[in-house]
């Protein structure tokens, strides 16, 4: 028995071929993948680039770079293009400075709401952004409703298996990730079976892993201490956006940090490019483990 | 009403002038201060340097550098010098590698216990080390029993005062530090009133503050976001060692990170060199706040 996945089987399909799908696209590989797959499934992607997504190389000509001060215009922009449903995906690592906001006329009345959006933890930010869109009649769709094949599976995915000690490290990591997530801080933790090594703040997973690599180089982590990366869904988080995710780069960064494996919440985390991720994990000797309550309790791979 | 301090008034004095006081000295300024003050109070310090403390410039000629593999000899060394009571203080940032331990004959039988000492979180490490000493008849004394003047006071200490928003940041920071400490990870957190910015893993407070300085330089923290450093005692931690502490360097590192203030558990944290710390805090415009339940609830400085 496994924990129910965020979305069991349902795929959200376009109501008619070429239905516009709004994609509010931050940074990273996920928005590009979502746009490409959505098109394959018959959607016509309409992209608003935000935060780290602005200026991304893959963006089509008609992508609209949305500065925070123009959020009001974004709604009109999407409605004019027939968008009813949209996806929020990708990373937004730099929060706008309040003082840098030069609001457009349409945005002026929304300033209090925008301020709510750009304050607070990541989860608050996304919840507030989602609410702003929903209040204007848009329907939010989760990435995994369009691309359920991205959802992490339970158990050993790929080559290597976690040892008994490694599963103790996973357990410790998920325990820490749970309390971290409950505080709406990060989703990622590095742990060994004996201790928690690093916790993700606003710096993000990549920089946390660079820190761990540095700690290992300096002998602050012994050469025999087997450490794992854990990315867990936040307790009670809205599963329609900001699921924990990994890609090929995560495997490489984990290998650089000397980690032996990665644990993800099965059914509540995204693997971006599973074939490449598995190949990279095999090449680096890193296990991938889909964490569920039952996998934890049964305790054997 | 304030939370009872770790040690209200009691000063542990030597039973006779020149009673030897064992000092198991890690890195940082604290062991040197403890040795100097203990001597003023009539003790004769006997120093075992461990971890980061080995090779420290201030060490007197008769300080004994204790490699982990010679823990067994340490007991005999201290007993031969008439030590009955001892203090554990200072930092031990690099854990010994199991494979690097070449135990002496006296230590061989203790290997399982040594392994317990050097595994687990910091709090586990210290608890296990304390137990090893106590089982051999030594009495552990807390730093604040010898130097109660180091204990942080409640409320505003020094110049600047936290604003209402700053106290909200302190509240958020102490909440996060509490759950962090319950997991036996770090004691330190950086937070603003809206979010937790960084959490201390094994890297220590200094490196966490360097990370925050870097995040601010790169715009990941806005110039108007007022952030505080919080160092809290771990729930249920043994108050005889490893109290959270700050010194002048902490103020400088906090200023470098653009922080507006520092919160410490009143009565459960050490300020190393209060006059210099206050002068540095005034010079940098950083407030110092001793956190207690009542200071939190009354909410006004």
Q: What is the pLDDT of residues A151-168, one digit of tens each?
A: 999 888 877 899 999 999
Domain boundary pick from A116, A146, A176? A146
- Give residue A45's domain range: 19-146
C-beta atoms of B220 and A199 within 8 A: no
pLDDT at residue A297 in the model: 47
The set of residues, in sequence order, having a beta carbon less than 8 Å from that of B46 and lying 6+ positions away, is B20, B21, B22, B23, B62, B78, B81, B83
Residue A265 φ/ψ, nearest 5 degrees: -65, 115
Nearest to B179 among A98, A119, A179 (CB): A179
Cβ A257 vs Cβ A213: under 8 Å: yes
pLDDT band at residue A8 using 50, 70 and 90 as cut-offs:
very low
* Together in a domain, A265 and A157: yes
Distance (Å, whole) CA A102 – CA A12: 37
Give a yes or no: residue A6 inside a domain: no
* Together in a domain, A104 and A207: no
C-beta atoms of A120 and B194 within 8 A: yes
Q: Does pLDDT of A93 surpass 80?
A: no
Exposure on the CB side of residue B223, measured as CA atoms within 13 A: 4
* CATH number of the domain enclosing A160: 3.40.140.80
Q: Does pLDDT of A11 surpass 90?
A: no
Weakest mean pLDDT among A38-42, A88-92, A143-147, A227-231: A88-92
Cβ B23 vs Cβ B138: under 8 Å: no
- Residue that wins the pLDDT comparison between B80 and A102: B80
* Together in a domain, B44 and B108: yes
Tokens of B188: 């330190």
User: In sequence order, what DSSP letters do the residues of B85-139 get, joined into one string?
Assistant: EEEEESB--SPPPGGG----HHHHTTHHHHHHHHSS-HHHHHHHHHHHHHHTT-E
Q: Find, in chain B, the residue whose alpha carbon is nearest to that of A176.
A: B183
* Together in a domain, A122 and A222: no
pLDDT over 90, % of chain A: 46
pLDDT at residue B241 in the model: 78
Give a yes or no: residue A58 inside a domain: yes
Give a yes or no: residue B1 inside a domain: no
* Together in a domain, B170 and B269: yes
Note the Cα A55 to chain centre separation in Å.
20
* Together in a domain, A213 and A160: yes
**Mean pLDDT score across all residues of chain A:** 84
Q: Does pLDDT of A52 surpass 90?
A: no
Burial class from Cβ neighbours inside 10 Å (0-12, 13-18, 19+) for residue B186 reads: buried
* CATH number of the domain enclosing B101: 3.40.50.20
Q: What is the pLDDT of residues B202-224, one digit of tens each?
A: 898 999 999 999 999 998 898 88
pLDDT at residue A301 in the model: 35
Distance (Å, whole) CA B249 – CA B252: 5
Q: Provide the domain count of chain A.
A: 2
Exposure on the CB side of residue A53, measured as CA atoms within 13 A: 26
pLDDT at residue B5 in the model: 46
The secondary structure element, H or E, covering residue B222 is none
Q: What is the pLDDT of residues A245-270, one digit of tens each?
A: 999 999 999 999 999 999 999 999 99
Which alpha helices (H) appear in chain A, and where do they start and end?
30-40, 71-80, 105-108, 111-118, 122-135, 143-146, 164-182, 205-217, 248-256, 274-284, 293-298
Q: What is the pLDDT of residues A53-78, one digit of tens each?
A: 888 888 888 888 887 677 778 888 99
pLDDT at residue B206 in the model: 93
Domain boundary pick from B146, B166, B189? B146
Give a yes or no: residue A13 inside a domain: no
pLDDT at residue B294 in the model: 56
The set of residues, in sequence order, having a beta carbon less than 8 Å from that of A79 and lying 6+ positions away, is none
* Together in a domain, B245 and B286: yes
pLDDT at residue B11 in the model: 81
pLDDT at residue A99 in the model: 53
Cβ B263 vs Cβ B243: under 8 Å: no
Note the Cα A292 to chain centre separation in Å.
18
Q: What is the pLDDT along chain B (301 residues), one digit of tens a residue?
A: 334 444 445 688 899 999 999 998 888 888 999 999 899 989 999 999 987 888 888 888 888 888 767 777 888 899 999 999 999 888 776 665 555 555 666 665 665 565 555 554 555 566 777 888 888 899 999 999 988 889 999 888 877 889 999 999 999 999 999 988 888 888 899 999 999 999 999 898 999 999 999 999 998 898 889 999 999 988 878 888 778 999 999 999 999 999 999 999 999 999 998 999 999 999 999 999 999 865 554 443 3
Q: What is the mean pLDDT of residues A96-103?
A: 56
Query: In angstroms, what CA-CA distances link A83 with A40, A126, A146, A182, A205?
Result: 18, 19, 16, 33, 33
Query: In angstroms, what CA-CA distances link B73 with B45, B104, B136?
Result: 18, 8, 12
* Together in a domain, A211 and A129: no
User: In sequence order, what DSSP letters do the residues of B142-195 get, joined into one string?
Assistant: -HHHH-GGGBPPSEE-SS----HHHHHHHHHHHHHHHHHHHTTS-SEEEE-SS-
Distance (Å, whole) CA A143 – CA A21: 11
* Together in a domain, B239 and B223: yes
Cβ B2 vs Cβ B154: under 8 Å: yes
Give a yes or no: residue A247 inside a domain: yes
- Which residues of A sit within 8 Å Cβ distance of B? 93-99, 119-121, 124, 175-176, 179-180, 182-186, 190, 194-203, 207, 211, 215, 218-224
How close is the nearest chain A Cα to the Cα of B226, in Å?
Answer: 12
Give a yes or no: residue A5 inside a domain: no
Rg of chain A taking only CA atoms, in angstroms: 20
Distance (Å, whole) CA A110 – CA B92: 52
Distance (Å, whole) CA B3 – CA B235: 13
pLDDT at residue A256 in the model: 97
User: In sequence order, what DSSP letters do the residues of A52-120 get, joined into one string?
Assistant: GGTT-TT--TT-EE--GGGHHHHHHHHHHTT--EEEEESB--SPPPGGG----HHHHTTHHHHHHHHSS
> Which residues does residue A86 pair with via DSSP β-bridges, in sequence order?
A22, A140
ipTM score for this prediction: 0.73
Give a yes or no: residue B8 inside a domain: no
Cβ A24 vs Cβ A87: under 8 Å: yes
Q: Please report residues of A whose CB lies closer than 8 A to that of B54.
A: none
C-beta atoms of B185 and A199 within 8 A: yes
Whose CA is closest to B39, among B55, B23, B62?
B23
Region of B42 (left: φ > 0; alpha: ψ -120 to 50; beta: rest) is left
* Together in a domain, A131 and A265: no
pLDDT at residue A117 in the model: 53
Nearest to A202 among B182, B184, B197 (CB): B197
Domain boundary pick from A128, A146, A164? A146
pLDDT at residue B100 in the model: 53
The secondary structure element, H or E, covering residue A190 is strand A188-191
pLDDT at residue A29 in the model: 86
Q: Please report residues of B whose CB lies closer than 8 A to that of A195.
A: 119-121, 124, 184-185, 202
* Together in a domain, A133 and A194: no
* Together in a domain, B130 and B221: no
Cα distance from N-terminal residue to C-terminal residue, chain A: 14
pLDDT at residue A241 in the model: 78
Distance (Å, whole) CA A37 – CA B105: 66
Query: In angstroms, what CA-CA distances link B186 with A33, A81, A100, B189, B232?
Result: 38, 50, 35, 8, 9
Give a yes or no: residue A8 inside a domain: no
pLDDT at residue A7 in the model: 46
CA angle B136, B141, B143 (to 5 degrees): 140
Q: Does pLDDT of A94 surpass 70?
A: no
C-beta atoms of A121 and B97 within 8 A: no
């Amino acid at each position: 028995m496994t924990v129910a996945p965020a979305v069991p089987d349902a795929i959200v399909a376009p109501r008619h071929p070429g239905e516009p799908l709004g994609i509010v696209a931050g940074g990273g590989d996920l928005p590009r993948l979502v746009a490409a797959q959505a098109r394959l499934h018959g959607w016509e992607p309409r992209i608003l680039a935000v935060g780290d997504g602005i200026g991304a190389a893959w963006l089509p000509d008609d992508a609209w770079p949305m500065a925070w001060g123009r959020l009001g215009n974004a709604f009109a922009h999407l409605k004019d293009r027939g968008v009813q449903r949209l996806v929020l995906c990708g990373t937004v690592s730099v929060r706008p400075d309040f003082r840098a906001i030069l609001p457009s006329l349409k945005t002026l009345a929304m300033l209090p709401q925008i301020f709510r959006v750009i304050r607070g933890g990541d989860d608050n930010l996304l919840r507030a952004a989602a609410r702003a869109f929903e209040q204007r009649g848009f329907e939010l769709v989760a990435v995994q409703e369009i691309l359920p094949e991205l959802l992490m599976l339970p158990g050993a995915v790929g080559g290597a298996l976690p040892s008994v000690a490694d599963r103790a490290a996973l357990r410790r990591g998920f325990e820490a990730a749970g309390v971290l997530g409950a505080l709406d801080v990060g989703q990622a933790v590095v742990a060994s079976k004996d201790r928690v090594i690093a916790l993700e703040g606003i710096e993000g997973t990549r920089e946390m892993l660079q820190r761990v690599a540095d700690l290992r180089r300096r002998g602050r982590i012994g050469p025999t201490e087997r450490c794992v990366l854990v990315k867990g869904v936040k307790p009670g988080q809205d599963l329609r956006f900001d699921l924990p995710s990994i890609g090929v780069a995560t495997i490489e960064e984990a290998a650089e940090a000397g980690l032996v494996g990665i644990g993800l919440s099965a059914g509540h985390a995204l693997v971006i490019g599973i074939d490449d991720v598995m190949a990279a994990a095999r090449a680096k000797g890193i296990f991938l483990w889909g964490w569920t309550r039952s996998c934890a309790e049964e305790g054997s791979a």
